[in-house]
Chain A
């Protein structure tokens, strides 16, 4: 009976070896993956023992870690947000229980000090005996523009988003999402406070935690006509003077469905109007026909070169990809050409389109980070403007600018800035299951001043703001866009 005893001893060793093997698998092979999992709160807790870097913009500190006022607190540093709701879409939150969001998450390695770019400074901290601390992030956000955009939206009780970009560099000057939230309770060291805040925020309707500028996609409506026109101009399919249909409704190609102008009125007194007039009045028929004429492929190529269908974009927060839909037949291509059907884009994408026109056809990589600093505020790295491949020619850009000036001057002009020429396009997008009865989303894409644009902005006001079904981009969204441009120019930058 000793043979089986020996075998059982061997089996015992095999069992222990199996355990050791699995422990090695978890603690060595899978260790990095599990350690970095956002649901693993340990790393976060660890970070509270070091001073996390600050997030600042235009000399204002937006987020910083200060010594916890409670001496018995096991977490040494308390994260604080100045003007929380104003900057929350950019800064994000930093929660012990719920992880981090926004910039706090995207720039986490810098803020917690583990980024390779801070390596030399870490060494010097260790040598000089200074407490290890994270690096700082300086944003490209212009506090005056951000505040103007936020206040313009919230003072009217609007729900939506504003994104402003400096056309020549791609720097994001404002990124607003309303209604917003205060990240301070989420950073509380009291678990109950965090839980209550989180439970409330996740149930908010309309949602507050979502950064609409980057994480929400909307039908662009007529603002997409900029893309359609750019593609048509590049293809030589249209000129501003070319006559186009003035009919109040057209029949879509390959189908019996009709498409009518927004108000159901004709575009002009005669059978045709110049294309520039159709652009200024945003008549749907000519653009649907134009889109169908140049075809889905050209339309898609233009949209992609402007940033559509890019799931990997980060600013450095990840940005939801903007999509065109499949545009399988002529009818859907025609509907897509006026920004309906399956076209969905983020407010950031719309601002990027506008900025590209303002920058003469060259899109710049958008970003919110201007600088990375060490613990001592010395510059470690500055973001250099990054040119992307030209989307359309300078002459197309010039023509689009003139068309958009025509559009701007055709509108009601609420909040017009004396002495500043703005080029713009409005949009009124139907959405949802009952597009005719839902209050539409209203858009305003604009840049100015022409001829030397300092800022390109895209505004979306969801559900028509307070105008209900009567809302249009011109009446609801444009005053906000103009206020943002005014703030940017007033700032002297």
Chain B
């Protein structure tokens, strides 16, 4: 960390002596640190305007009647977002102002595209004389509402992200159960299109893997906070890297085992890839050792190779990836059609509502990116990918800024999870990597994905709130005159300390810790947690 303080701390005028009465400080802090909620509201309004505009374009190109109802829809969308915004104002006033608008914009574009595919499906059903299919867009609006309820719920129930550290093992266990459930359930309840990653309960199907993703990030963050000293302290130097001791490889091997089990028993390359990628990155962030990543990639590569050798579904995916057109009328049909759609869209796209995205199977779920690529072109796709990039890097930025290790790991894990999921799903449909069949966060049709990702964003906001919040209550040491901001640096490196307010004024640890990037402290860093 080149700059030892978090932005909030900087603005909080750290050099001055703190008055004993904290309540007296509050107004001054509020005046000094902008919450930037106004920016958030303006950006949300922009997201609603873009979404409504996109909807109008779809309707115009589809020669549907343009009515005021479209504006009401836009207004309703804005109202939903405004409620979320109010919740942020109340529960996380210092949260990053970009995160919610970015998620809302992705959600809005997704809704428009799902509606657009609905129109095509209805037209097709009518031309074939079939019954009109249910409108997925309406359901997705319902899921958006539920997602926002989750969003508000998480902000409300988790007032401080560090409390989550206590439930690390619980989260891990719950995540494992959710991940394993579809494999244990009979295929009739869990299998959709060959992948057993669902729990189907009547009309509602949920993909538990989406929730497991968040729970695992929580688990690994809390696990690594406790164990990372162990992982960083011992090891052998080899090829310019420090390799961990074999016995410390346990957690990695367990994660690998789980990933492989998902691959083999649920035939789901996507979830497996997702899960293992997140674990690796969190291990790397916690230990600062690239050797973990190399070991992880090696064993995952070996496992994936074995799966490719023995699991026919994986073989199919790989052969389609290598040449989607080889089995055009069979297994390669979906990817080929997707590529045709993207190519027909070209640089500028056919225009919203003017393409034929419905020719691609699953045009509103797994393959929504080819639908978007066809109608808004490379330009539009690039914009969406940059939105994702921004969303993920905002989470990373919160991880940089927040001062506790758990928060850092949590935000990094969640941020990377978004980017990694986008890479796996979009890479799959544009044939950069084998197609896997998971959903694009916020954009794809699918309740579990949307709800889980709103919860994820709420956690990111929670961490970013802690990062930007004036840190008067949590600052562990009274600044020593002459040392400037130096005492703040250890905070960024500190592991989670649950400190009661009485303990606040006593530093939980003495001395100045070294900055990240410097050689690791050879001394064991085990520390007590004031729980």
Contacts and interface: CB of A to CB of B under 8 A. Distances in A.
B285 A16 contact: no
Given A16-B388, A19-B430, A41-B356, A8 B285 contact: yes
A58 interface: no
A26 B356 contact: no
Contact of A19 (B344, B416, B432): B432
Contacts of B250: none
B426 A8 contact: no
Interface string A21-58: 01110111011111101011111010000000000000
Contact of A18 (B386, B420, B423, B516): B423
Interface stretch (B15-23, B105-113, B197-205, B389-397): B389-397
Interface in B452-507: 492-493
Nearest to A13: B389
Contacts of B412: 5, 8
A34 B320 CA distance: 16
B378 interface: yes
A388 interface: no
A248 B515 CA distance: 106
Contact of B430 (A4, A22, A32, A190): A22
A41 B359 contact: yes
Interface stretch (B47-55, B141-149, B154-162, B335-343): B335-343
A270 interface: no
Interface centre among A4, A11, A27 (most CB of B within 10 A): A27
Nearest to A1: B516
B343 A26 contact: yes
A255 interface: no
A34 B408 contact: no
Given A5-B399, A12-B396, A13-B393, A22 B432 contact: yes
Interface string B357-399: 0010000000000000110011001100110110011001101
Contacts of B430: 19, 22-23, 26
A23 B1 contact: no
B121 to A, nearest CB: 12
Given A28-B378, A41-B359, A191-B127, A1 B343 contact: no
Contacts of A12: 389, 392-393, 396, 415-416, 419
A490 interface: no
Interface centre among B288, B393, B419 (most CB of A within 10 A): B419
A37 B427 CA distance: 22
B183 interface: no
- Report, as a range, how many residues of chain B touch the other chain: 35 or more
Nearest to B423: A15
Interface string B401-434: 0000100100010011001101100110011100
A269 interface: no
A9 B393 contact: yes
A470 B16 CA distance: 116
Given A1-B286, A5-B285, A41-B359, A18 B427 contact: yes
B447 interface: no
A40 B355 CA distance: 12
Given A13-B389, A22-B431, A27-B342, A2 B1 contact: yes
A4 B423 contact: no
A493 interface: no
B193 to A, nearest CB: 22
B346 interface: yes
A219 B377 CA distance: 52
B326 interface: no
Contacts of A24: 378
A9 B388 CA distance: 12
B123 A74 contact: yes
A2 B492 contact: yes
Contact of B420 (A5, A15, A31, A72): A15
Interface residues of A, number: 43
A6 to B, nearest CB: 7
A72 B64 CA distance: 12
A26 B420 CA distance: 21
B336 A39 contact: yes
B128 interface: yes
A interface, over-half SS:
helix
Contacts of A28: 346-347, 378
B27 interface: no
Nearest to B63: A74
Contacts of B419: 12, 15-16
B328 A39 contact: yes
A31 B377 CA distance: 11
Contact of A1 (B124, B373, B408, B432): B408
Contacts of A41: 356, 359
A72 to B, nearest CB: 7
B526 to A, nearest CB: 16
B359 A18 contact: no
Nearest to B397: A9
B396 A31 contact: no
B517 interface: yes
A336 B336 CA distance: 45
Contacts of A341: none
B396 A34 contact: no
Given A12-B389, A19-B426, A42-B355, A27 B345 contact: yes
Contact of B517 (A2, A11, A20, A192): A2
B284 interface: yes
Given A8-B284, A23-B381, A27-B378, A42 B356 contact: yes
Nearest to B390: A16
B32 interface: no
Interface string B319-355: 0000000001000000010011111111100000001
A18 B420 CA distance: 12
A20 B382 contact: yes
Contacts of A212: none
Nearest to A74: B123
B114 interface: no
A32 B373 CA distance: 15
A191 to B, nearest CB: 6
A3 interface: yes
A189 interface: yes
B383 to A, nearest CB: 11
A6 B284 CA distance: 12
Contacts of B284: 4, 7-8
Contacts of B341: 42
Contacts of A43: 344
Given A27-B378, A41-B359, A19 B422 contact: yes
B78 interface: no
B336 A22 contact: no
Nearest to A192: B128
A364 to B, nearest CB: 39
A26 B342 contact: yes
Nearest to A189: B127
A192 B125 CA distance: 12
Contacts of A73: 127
A28 B345 CA distance: 9
A30 B343 contact: yes
B385 A33 contact: no
A-B pairs with lowest CB-CB distance, top 6: A34-B343, A2-B1, A40-B340, A22-B432, A12-B419, A9-B396
14 contacts: A2-B515, A3-B516, A5-B412, A8-B285, A12-B392, A12-B396, A18-B432, A19-B432, A20-B381, A24-B378, A31-B344, A37-B340, A40-B343, A192-B128
Interface of B: 1, 123-124, 126-128, 281, 284-286, 288, 328, 336, 339-347, 355-356, 359, 373-374, 377-378, 381-382, 385-386, 388-389, 392-393, 396-397, 399-400, 405, 408, 412, 415-416, 419-420, 422-423, 426-427, 430-432, 492-493, 515-517
Given A27-B377, A45-B356, 17 more contacts: A1-B408, A2-B516, A5-B412, A13-B389, A15-B422, A15-B423, A16-B423, A23-B381, A26-B430, A27-B346, A31-B343, A32-B343, A34-B342, A34-B343, A40-B344, A42-B341, A74-B123
